[in-house]
């Protein structure tokens, strides 16, 4: 199953219930999400029951060096996305709402917030 982290938990459980008895094998792939995601905690971290493999973008020998460099440039100011997409890490998001804003570059030091309500 592709992109399993996008599935609702009950959907995945229903799929697992329908595996043929005696041949309960299924292969999942996904991009990482936040560390508390049910797929990470219930399946990946459950090494006693499930076998997992971790690969990164850098492991794919079919990707050109140019493609890798482009991806690194795209994610330069988006550390969460870089960690998830390029490095395969399940990390908490700190930059996924405003992904194109780098506070060190985009916010003037003398900016003062004026509340429209006060």
Distance CA 8, CA 12 (A): 7
What confidence tens digit (pLDDT) does each residue in 53-102 have?
Answer: 999 999 999 999 999 999 999 988 888 889 999 999 999 886 556 656 66
* pTM summary value: 0.71
* pLDDT tens column, 49-61: 999 999 999 999 9
DSSP symbols for 45-109: T-TTT-------GGG-TTS-HHHHHHHHHHTTT-HHHIIIIIT------SSSSSTT--HHHHS-T
Predicted pLDDT at 61: 96
User: What is the predicted pLDDT for the residue at 54?
Assistant: 93
Q: What is the pLDDT of residue 23?
A: 77
The residue extents of the domains of the chain are 1-53, 57-111
What does pLDDT average to over the chain?
86
């Amino acid at each position: 199953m592709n992109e399993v982290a996008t599935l609702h938990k009950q959907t995945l459980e229903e799929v697992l219930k329908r595996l043929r008895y005696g041949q309960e094998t299924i292969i999942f792939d996904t991009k990482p999400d936040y560390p508390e995601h049910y797929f990470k905690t219930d399946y990946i971290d459950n090494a006693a029951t499930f076998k997992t493999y971790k690969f990164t973008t850098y492991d794919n020998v079919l990707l050109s060096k140019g493609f890798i460099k482009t991806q690194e440039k795209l994610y330069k100011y988006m550390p969460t996305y870089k960690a998830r997409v390029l490095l395969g890490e399940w990390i908490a998001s700190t930059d996924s709402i405003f992904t194109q804003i780098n506070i060190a570059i985009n916010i003037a030091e003398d900016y003062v917030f004026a509340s429209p309500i006060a």
